[in-house]
Amino acid sequence: MNYAELVTAIEDTTENTFTAVQVKTFIQQAEQTILNSVEIPAQRKTEEGTATSQTDAGVSTLAMPTDYLYSYSIAVKNNNTITFLLNKDVNFINEAYPSTLVTGQGVPVHYAQYGADTLVFGPTPDAAYDLIHTYAAYPTSIAGDNKSATTTSWLGDNFDSALLSGALVEAARFMKADPDIVAMYDKMFVNSMQLLKNMGDGKLRGDVYRNGQPKSQVL
């Protein structure tokens, strides 16, 4: 389902028309709810060998990419050896490595969230180390600023039922629809989210070799 098809489905189902700003708000609020409830592949990004994935000697902090939400993992590449860092609370870093401005402390072992868009390492890097940073970011919205009628997204291509149902919930609230209509859209959204969660937080977190195939009891 592309952007134009999604807008048409919203307006046909609600039997109403909306401004471009209104329908964009419905869609993006639905996307935000979905993406903060289920992890999908489109949220994962990996940086390696960039300005935001390399430490500086004597500098304990590192600014994150502008689209950064949170880290999945960080690894240091040192002499072709990859070592994953351990995530800690920032208070642990401050207590374990109080001299964060001292150079030559060594290869980082721990990292912590230091601010909204900054990480802190312990010990303070003694050299410029390349990092492999896998982090979460909001994928491009199907209703983004550069949208066209044919704009698509991961949700639109792979799970448009959740996207449509979520947008209908927002549209119904905007229209102050009858409670039974809102409840119906809510139920549709919950059902589609359960299916998406089964895939995003279930099937994408394992495989048949390790977990076996899902089985239903035979009566």
- What pLDDT digit, counting tens, does each position of 111-137 carry? 999 988 999 999 999 999 999 999 999
- What pLDDT digit, counting tens, does each position of 93-115 carry? 989 988 655 666 889 999 999 98
Q: How many CA atoms lie within 13 A of 112 on its CB side?
A: 15
Low-confidence ranges of the chain (pLDDT < 70): 99-104, 214, 216
The DSSP H or E segment spanning 101 is none
Give the pLDDT confidence score for residue 91 in this predicted structure: 93
Give the pLDDT confidence score for residue 102 in this predicted structure: 61
Give the pLDDT confidence score for residue 84 in this predicted structure: 97
Give the pLDDT confidence score for residue 100 in this predicted structure: 57
CB 128 within 8 A of CB 65: no
Give the pLDDT confidence score for residue 212 in this predicted structure: 76
Give the pLDDT confidence score for residue 175 in this predicted structure: 95
> How far is Cα 92 from Cα 110, in angstroms, rounded to an integer?
9
